[in-house]
Amino acid sequence: MIILFDLDGTVIDSTEAILESFFVACEENRCEKPSAEAIKKLIGYPLDVMFGRVGVKPELVWKCVASYKEHYRLISTQKTVLLPRAKEAVELASSFARLGVVTTKTARYSKELLEHFGILHRFEVLVGREDVQNPKPHPEPILNALEMMHVKGKKDVWMVGDTKLDLECAKEAGVDAVAVLGGYGEKEELKCYGFPLRSDVYDAVTYLQKNGKK
C-alpha cells in the first residue's frame, strides 16, 4: 500500500508561521494587510495564488512570495507544531505501507520541518511546490510521487488530506483518498467528494490499516 500525506492541516499546524510570514510580506511590500480568516481559507493553495486572491496587485505577488519565504524560513520550526496524534499516525502507517508527502509547501522547508519533528525518515519521497509545474488540485503532484516511488499501478494508493485540493488531486490522479477533519477544509465541502471522512490523521491511518487493501 502507498499512503501519500498532505502536510498543513493534516500532519502539521503551521498556521502561526503562515500568518506571521504573510503579514510581514504584505508590510514589507506595502500591501493592504488581509485578515487572518481570509488567509486561513486559502491555506493549501500555492503562495502566489494566495497573495493574488487576498488582493495583492499582480506586479507585487512574487515580491510578496519572496518576502514570505525569507521570513518563514527563520520561524517555521519554532512556530509549527505536529497535530495531535500525527507522529503516531506516521509511525503506524510506516509499519504497513510505503509513505510519501505531497504538498504545495516548498519542499526544502517541508523537509526541514519533518526532520525537526523526527519523522522525515518515514517518507520515501516528498513532492513540494518546486517539484511540479502544476500544483494541487492538478494530478501532477501525486503522479510525480508515484513515479519517484516506481509505482506503476494505482491500486492500493491513497491520498490523505484536509482540503478539497487534496481530494480533487486524488480524484484526477485516479487514486483513493481519505479526508481528515479539523484542518482547513469544511466538512460539508469534503463530503461532496464521496471519500471516507475521519476525525484526524491517526483515525485515517487506522481506517486504512483495516480497510485500505483491495
With helix as H, strand as E and coil as C, how does the chain read? CEEEECCECCCEECHHHHHHHHHHHHHHCCCCCCCHHHHHCCECECHHHHHHHCCCCHHHHHHHHHHHHHHHHHHCCCCCEECCCHHHHHHHHCCCCEEEEECCCCHHHHHHHHHHCCCHHHCCEEECHHHCCCCCCCCHHHHHHHHHCCCCCCCCEEEEECCHHHHHHHHHHCCEEEEECCCCCCHHHHHCCCCCEECCHHHHHHHHHHHCCC
pTM as predicted = 0.93
Domains of the chain: 2-13+81-211 (3.40.50.1000), 15-75 (1.10.150)
- Catalytic position from the list 6, 8, 13, 203: 6
Could you read off the pLDDT of 46-93 as tens digits, one per residue? 999 999 999 999 999 999 999 999 999 999 999 999 999 999 999 999
Question: What confidence score (pLDDT) does residue 49 get?
Answer: 95
pLDDT classification of 200: cutoffs 50, 70, 90 = very high
- Placement of cell 518546486 in the chain: 130
Q: Would you call 6 a catalytic residue per the annotation? A: yes
Instruction: Judge whether residue 214 has pLDDT over 70.
Output: no
